[in-house]
Structure 1
Amino acid sequence: MDKEVRQSPAEPAVHRPLPHDSAVKHVTGQAVYVDDMLEPEGLLHVYFGTSPCAHGRIGKLGLDRVRQAPGVVAVLTAADIPGANDISPLHRGDEEILASGEVHFAGQPLFAVAAESRDAARRAARLAEIDIEPLPAVLDIETALERESFVDETHEMKRGDPDAAIESAPHRLDGVLHMGGQDHFYLEGQAALAMPQEDGDLLVHSSSQHPSELQHLIAQSLGRADNAVTVEVRRMGGAFGGKETQAAQWALLAALVADRTGRPAKIRLDRDDDMISTGKRHDFRTRWRVGFDDDGRILGIDFELAARCGMSADLSGAISDRAMFHSDNGYYLPAVRIRSYRCRTNTVSNTAFRGFGGPQGMLGIEQVIEAIAAHRNLDPLAVRRVNLYGGDGRILTPYFMTVEDNVLPELMDELAEAADYPARRGEVESFNRAGGVIRRGLALTPVKFGISFTTAFLNQAGALVHVYKDGSIHLNHGGTEMGQGLFIKVAQVVADEFGVPLEQVRISATRTDKVPNTSATAASSGSDMNAMAALDACSKIKRRIAAHIGAEHGVAEDSVRFDSDGVWVGAQRRDFADVVLQAYLARVSLSATGFYRTPKIHYDRETARGRPFLYFAYGAAVSEVEIDTLTGEYRLRRVDILHDVGRSLNPAVDLGQIEGGFVQGMGWLTTEELWWDEQGVLRTHAPSTYKIPVASDVPDAFHVRIWERGDNREPTIHRSKAVGEPPLMLAISVHSAIRHALTSLAPEGVLAPLDAPATPERVLLCAERLRSGA
């Protein structure tokens, strides 16, 4: 083909604000989730029965009536599991698929029912006769600390002599902060479909963030090798960490039924059971002591973090570690100690949730900043600025990592100016000095969030790219799509590598038989790792094509270039599809696997030193609120956000992540309250009792911008930065603004004692306490 016959130029895809690849399908209902798949012939529906109490010894598990119920085909207990009765992701053996011997939380699965219909399975599960001998239960952090009930050993980070620094400081304060958990409240509940294959193999469709772990756990439970199980995930209707480890239990139940009966089996949890039987964001209690100078500069600080982990370890060790890593947020702490207690309680095992412990660590230090500001009668923004990482050697974290990429000073200054923070702060103070029932609050808070898995071996990703002889491209990688836009971002990268239109790249479901041994899609690193793995695969194919075409034309391999006009062979332009066909006819391999491992990272947990993160993502938010001190009700008047995503791969997707993360964080800190009764039974397990934010909670004045000067010093994919988790912590500004409004009721020098979530009830109680002088 001569240079005049060519494909239409492809507009570069990377850095363009393109829609989500499934956006139209989402809004029209065409997107296929597990429960939307055509049901195969002979499908069985699976459900489960649970423990009614928080801790006890199983006496009788009477299932005769369950087995005799209409439509029931099989009933499984722990005794029917042919392999390991274990779903623990890291601490093998501390959480069972189905309880045997003892139960450890109210809602723990005891048995599974398979029936001809979902309704029949659910009705039958209620017929069980369960006799459990109650045992003493530990339900909260305080009791766990008293009884030294832990899922993991206590950890400590320390730099310098914080005790001496605090004692010698001109000013000292101490305090405590209680933070509630949060339910993931994904739109699609936990779901799985298991399909028997030849030779006893299984194909499992699951709503899971971690197909490879699911594959391993299913194989382990059946007593087989991993290669007997294939897990496929096309998309999830939300996950937020709730489907990283905890999708396993439900997929395992479906797989066990399919294996036992030889029939396809599906499970889909309803909202109540999903909320009761799956883990959540960890509750935390933070105690602190701090010493500081007249300007509010921290000289020494001592943190004690305690997390309610629930009945098993799950990912609590790494989550608690990350809370420690983020207890500095964006602030330099010259002398610091951070202790972490991981409390075992007889409640559902808490798990990953967007931010993975980071939000709990950051909320603690922000309370410290505001307490210092109140004590010194300073604007909290001034105290924040004076404590930021910066020059004069103030660049070392409590875990001895050097902060090399700090942009918070200039980013915060730009936001403060754009949001007119100084003038508005003065207006709010004047409004509050006038007295009255209505009070206002304004706060600007920063975010510094580390990007990488802190468990080093998880920082790896694989990809598989096929180029077909007509020039079309098939893309597969180990990342999962949960609505966050990972698939479109990786496809953009692949399209640009070959210089083809985005429509030429076919996105395919994540499957363990295409890309093996993948890490969970988590830690905000989905694009960072999977796009780089795909890039590696593309590069291999391009080198093979270039070598062949270059030799054919008598030019060096590096003289062959791929761009949006086609393939350049020296000065000659060729059509991509033509070049691909010629390579195929010449028996050049047009398929390649790609791999990526995050560089530079290392961390020694014994010494609490290292570089657990490749880089940091930064952002800041200004929030203004108005509260009614007689009812505790409040409204968000205005929000201004400026967030650094480096050189955005897809500004439209990233902007959506910033907006959504902020609103979800606002829910955690304001309305989403989890409540267990004295027997350890969750009572807030439906939308009627558990309140997530709705559209009316977002103010009309909601100004969100991606920082135009954003970049990444590290060689990430197209110098972009992760965006999944960091924006959630921008919502700390809402909690801080509410506290600012309440502090206007307090005596001078006193910070309003506001825990999280700041529900209207809690705001009212705080206001009354301040008015009464208690």
Structure 2
Amino acid sequence: MDKTAAEVLPSQAFGAVHTSVAHESAARHVSGTAVYIDDMPEPAGLLHAYLALSNISHGMIRALDLSAVRAAPGVVGVLTASDIPGLNDMSAMNRKDEPILAKDKIEFDGQALFAVIAQTREQARRACSLAKIDYDELPAAIDFADIDTRNGKLVTEPLVLTRGDTEAEIASAPHSLSGEIRIGGQEHFYLEGQIAMAMPNDGDEIMVYSSTQYPAEVQRTVAHALNVPFHAVEIHTRRMGGAFGGKETQATQFAAIAALAAQKFNKPIKIRPDRDDDMRLTGKRHDFNVSYRVGFDDDGRIRGVDYHYALRCGYSADLSGAVADRALLHCDNTYYYPAVHAVSAPLYTNTASNTAFRGFGGPQGVLGCERVMEEIAFALGKDPLEVRKANFYGTRDCNITPYRQEVEDNIIGRLVRELEKTSEYARRRREIRAFNAQNRFIKRGLALVPVKFGMSFTNTNSNQAGALLHVYTDGSVQINHGGTEMGQGLYIKVAQVVAQELNIDISQIKATATTTGKVPNASATAGSTGSDLNGMAARDAAIKIRKRLAAFAAKTYGGTPDDVAFLPGCVQVGSTRITFADLVKQAQFARVQLSATGFYKTPKISWDRTKAFGKPYYYFAYGASCSEVSIDTLTGEYIVERVDILHDAGKSLNMAIDIGQIEGGFIQGMGWLTTEELIWGRNGFLRTHAPSTYKIPLASDRPKIFNVALTGWSRNHEAISYRSKGVGEPPLLHGISVLHALSDAVASVANHCICPRLDAPATPERVLMAIERLRAQSG
């Protein structure tokens, strides 16, 4: 498993890795025949569950009268916290701080109180509103304005990164400055909402169809709630209509409710909330308040920097600790800090517990440090790109991160030089300055922002995967692994890996639904590790099969296993050539095992959180984006004129899939930083709880010119799936260049003498307010 890709590839492979094979469900997606949970035929006797939600943000339940609910048309029964036979807990990491159903205390507006079970979904939903509830309300902390960001209540332990004497370096530097940036959250807005369907089986067994990125976590939560062993619970996930992190831990509540109701009423149960309730119930991307102090020299090189990353977590820990950690581990982005002090503050609030979201804290960490680069550029009157390049890893003698990992695979300098050239950055920057000087109301802006993203789970034990591979006597192959398919193309990439190892056509391979009954204890499909981990586990299984077949062929036709060549669709042994299917048939007749398990664990990684020291990432992925915008200074409205992205996917497993991921990730990142704004009322009610008030990017919001390219020359130096790199999360960070391009355009109204300090999301209202503020400051 330590050999390079060139050493282990069968010769003349076809239809396999490094080719643009279509997504395995592409035709079904566009034709509407892909089956999601709500498309499955409903079993006889199916009942529907719906959750009743609180309408206060903080308080105690004084009295709960459900008599009218139980008497409502079609209602079969009600499920409350007291009906849960096991643990009333759905917390991540088994922290026991997040109940499936509230019992006495209400921690946020929209918290689930009880579930109604009825003949139809509409009957269950309507019955929920008939409950009579008396509360004793308590003061609520909703926004950063309600919290002491330095000394507020925390939901989990903070992380501190430190190296060198930061205070001394800032004090002695020729220049210094301080400031802060407010970074908004983001709704996942998956096309398929949260959903689960549970079916009771023999004895205490239960099958749950769950739209989840983390079947093993759902299995654990359901088993604990039912008070049964894990082996009695099987979680089945064929595909999701999007997830983006929102179905990593958040799916557990819906699966648990469906399973609990199925056990209590001995009927199949389905639960699917309306979009409004889905958005109220579930956590979002964490919003951050990042404050900073930095000392730097005349060239803009940082000498010392101090960061404080406060994040609004909600009422329980969920994954906030890991999100906060990754934010700090990305506070350097592509830059070397001689001295650094950074601390996280995961703050308690009376809102739904925020959770994983594509990038998992990395985007917020990078955005904080990119604000610092921008501030330095304005302070020195330099092009922000010049300051960024002056601080790159590789420009000084040390390539050590604040957490003591050496950046061994640094390609950011070459990558940015290439993008500068292909995007014609220098020429366009001159032209934009000339345009702004001649136009009073329309201003343009340009920004080029680099990205470095660490690839691996910081929770070291999560970096493992399993696979199960079957070869049938007609030569067809079935592969199952612990990764889940949410539209990102994981299934086809893993199938390509298997096709490569066996040297058979991709059409002979079928990836089957992810299930805890086939591959147990799998990690979440998250952190851009899906192809890395599951691809390597599947490869391990395929290599075992290939070795068995090679040994059988050598024994049958003469020679040694090393003499056996796996050619496209056939096997060569000396002068004998036999089709793959015929060899398999003969091997099965000779009692050769044609099923194999595969396993992979990421090597060379370690992370001591207590010391903030180690190598949490196996490798880094890089990229850069150059964005140009135009803004109307009378209204604050803007257009993204052009975007050029150059991204490092290593030696891509599937170029078409990867470019699609880059395009989609960028648009989602752009939406996070521009139009997508979460607003809570002072009572804690989420006002932006529907498509009518929450604005994701439209097709018309895409850049007028959108150029996306892969580096082509980059290779992963580590032995991951044929030198490829994970590509799910890093592209989202390219949206940061749009925010900085907007800032550049706004700055033109004050002749680029004042940093606009745009907070995110930079809605047209915020852009307009920044314009007016700069005009007032510049006189």
TM range (shorter): over 0.9
Report the equivalent of 1:220.
Answer: 224
Tell me the distance in 2 between the aligned counterparts of 1:329 and 1:391: 14
How far apart are residue 234 of structure 1 and its match?
0.1
Q: Where does 1:385-464 land on structure 2 (aligned, <5 Å)?
A: 385-434=389-438, 436-464=440-468
Amino acid paired to 2:132: E
Q: Does 1:120 find its partner at 2:98?
A: no
Report the equivalent of 2:264.
Answer: 260
Q: Where does 1:46-445 land on structure 2 (aligned, <5 Å)?
A: 46-145=49-148, 148-434=152-438, 436-445=440-449
Shift in alpha-carbon separation, 1:10–1:159, aligned structure 2, 3 A = closer
Report if the CA contact (8 A) 2:558-2:573 is conserved: no
Tell me the distance in 2 between the aligned counterparts of 1:728 and 1:580: 44
Q: 1:663 aligns with which of 646, 660, 667?
A: 667
Report the equivalent of 1:525.
Answer: 529
Tell me the distance in 2 between the aligned counterparts of 1:316 and 1:738: 30
Report if the CA contact (8 A) 1:496-1:563 is conserved: no
Tell me the distance in 1 between the aligned counterparts of 2:359 and 2:622: 13
Which sections of structure 2, spanning at least 5 residues, go unmatched? 1-11
Partner SS state of residue 744, structure 1: helix
Provide, for residues 516-555 of structure 1, a one-character-per-residue CA deviation record: whole Å limited to 9, x for no partner: 0000000000000001000001111111111122112231
Partner SS state of residue 145, structure 1: coil
Shift in alpha-carbon separation, 1:164–1:571, aligned structure 2, 3 A = farther
Tell me the distance in 1 between the aligned counterparts of 2:171 and 2:351: 39
Q: Does 1:771 find its partner at 2:775?
A: yes
Report if the CA contact (8 A) 2:204-2:228 is conserved: no
TM-score normalized with structure 2 length: 0.97
Provide, for residues 253-299 of structure 1, a one-character-per-residue CA deviation record: whole Å limited to 9, x for no partner: 11111000000000111110011110000000000001111111111
Amino acid paired to 1:444: L
Amino acid paired to 2:376: I
Report if the CA contact (8 A) 2:81-2:102 is conserved: yes
Q: Does 1:702 find its partner at 2:706?
A: yes
Partner SS state of residue 482, structure 1: coil
Tell me the distance in 2 between the aligned counterparts of 1:674 and 1:654: 29
Q: Where does 1:694-733 land on structure 2 (aligned, <5 Å)?
A: 694-733=698-737
Report the equivalent of 1:513.
Answer: 517
Tell me the distance in 2 between the aligned counterparts of 1:10 and 1:29: 33
Tell me the distance in 1 between the aligned counterparts of 2:403 and 2:237: 37
Report if the CA contact (8 A) 1:272-1:685 is conserved: yes
Report the equivalent of 1:580.
Answer: 584
Give the CA RMSD over aligned residues. 1.1
Which sections of structure 1, spanning at least 5 residues, go unmatched? 1-8
Tell me the distance in 2 between the aligned counterparts of 1:309 and 1:91: 17
Query: How many aligned residue pairs are there?
Result: 766
Tell me the distance in 2 between the aligned counterparts of 1:263 and 1:166: 66
How far apart are residue 154 of structure 1 and its match?
2.3
Amino acid paired to 2:677: E
Provide, for residues 95-134 of structure 1, a one-character-per-residue CA deviation record: whole Å limited to 9, x for no partner: 0000011010000000001100011000111111111110
Report if the CA contact (8 A) 1:91-1:313 is conserved: no
How far apart are residue 430 of structure 1 and its match?
1.8
How far apart are residue 574 of structure 1 and its match?
1.5
Provide, for residues 438-466 of structure 1, a one-character-per-residue CA deviation record: whole Å limited to 9, x for no partner: 11100000010000000000000000000
Tell me the distance in 2 between the aligned counterparts of 1:379 and 1:43: 63
Amino acid paired to 2:558: G
Report if the CA contact (8 A) 1:746-1:752 is conserved: no
Tell me the distance in 1 between the aligned counterparts of 2:316 and 2:733: 26
Tell me the distance in 2 between the aligned counterparts of 1:301 and 1:241: 31
Partner SS state of residue 147, structure 2: helix
Tell me the distance in 2 between the aligned counterparts of 1:401 and 1:745: 42
Report the equivalent of 1:3.
Answer: none
Report if the CA contact (8 A) 1:54-1:106 is conserved: yes
How far apart are residue 699 of structure 1 and its match?
2.0
Provide, for residues 117-153 of structure 1, a one-character-per-residue CA deviation record: whole Å limited to 9, x for no partner: 0110001111111111101111123433366211012
How far apart are residue 400 of structure 1 and its match?
0.4
Q: Does 1:681 find its partner at 2:685?
A: yes
Report the equivalent of 1:5.
Answer: none
Q: 1:649 aligns with which of 647, 653, 674?
A: 653
How far apart are residue 749 of structure 1 and its match?
3.7
Partner SS state of residue 93, structure 2: coil
Report the equivalent of 2:19.
Answer: 16
Provide, for residues 375-409 of structure 1, a one-character-per-residue CA deviation record: whole Å limited to 9, x for no partner: 11111111111100005423000000000001110
Could you tell which deviates more after superposition, 555-564 or 251-260? 555-564
Amino acid paired to 1:396: I
Tell me the distance in 2 between the aligned counterparts of 1:716 and 1:758: 38
Partner SS state of residue 287, structure 1: strand
TM-score normalized with structure 1 length: 0.98
Report if the CA contact (8 A) 1:376-1:749 is conserved: no
Amino acid paired to 1:44: L
Report the equivalent of 1:760.
Answer: 764
Shift in alpha-carbon separation, 1:33–1:201, aligned structure 2, 3 A = same
Tell me the distance in 1 between the aligned counterparts of 2:514 and 2:123: 32
Report the equivalent of 1:6.
Answer: none
How far apart are residue 748 of structure 1 and its match?
5.4
Partner SS state of residue 304, structure 2: strand
How far apart are residue 747 of structure 1 and its match?
6.2
Q: Does 1:32 find its partner at 2:38?
A: no
Partner SS state of residue 93, structure 1: coil
Tell me the distance in 1 between the aligned counterparts of 2:574 and 2:304: 63
Report the equivalent of 1:471.
Answer: 475
Q: Where does 1:591-602 land on structure 2 (aligned, <5 Å)?
A: 591-602=595-606
Partner SS state of residue 92, structure 2: coil
Report the equivalent of 2:612.
Answer: 608
How far apart are residue 91 of structure 1 and its match?
4.5
Partner SS state of residue 284, structure 2: coil
Partner SS state of residue 370, structure 2: helix
Report if the CA contact (8 A) 1:497-1:563 is conserved: no
Tell me the distance in 2 between the aligned counterparts of 1:391 and 1:541: 47
Tell me the distance in 2 between the aligned counterparts of 1:166 and 1:106: 43
Provide, for residues 303-361 of structure 1, a one-character-per-residue CA deviation record: whole Å limited to 9, x for no partner: 00000000100000000000000011111111101011000100000000000000000
Shift in alpha-carbon separation, 1:602–1:10, aligned structure 2, 3 A = closer
Partner SS state of residue 213, structure 1: helix
Tell me the distance in 2 between the aligned counterparts of 1:613 and 1:10: 31
Tell me the distance in 2 between the aligned counterparts of 1:25 and 1:553: 43
**Identity among equivalent pairs (%):** 57
Report if the CA contact (8 A) 1:203-1:232 is conserved: yes
Tell me the distance in 1 between the aligned counterparts of 2:587 and 2:44: 44
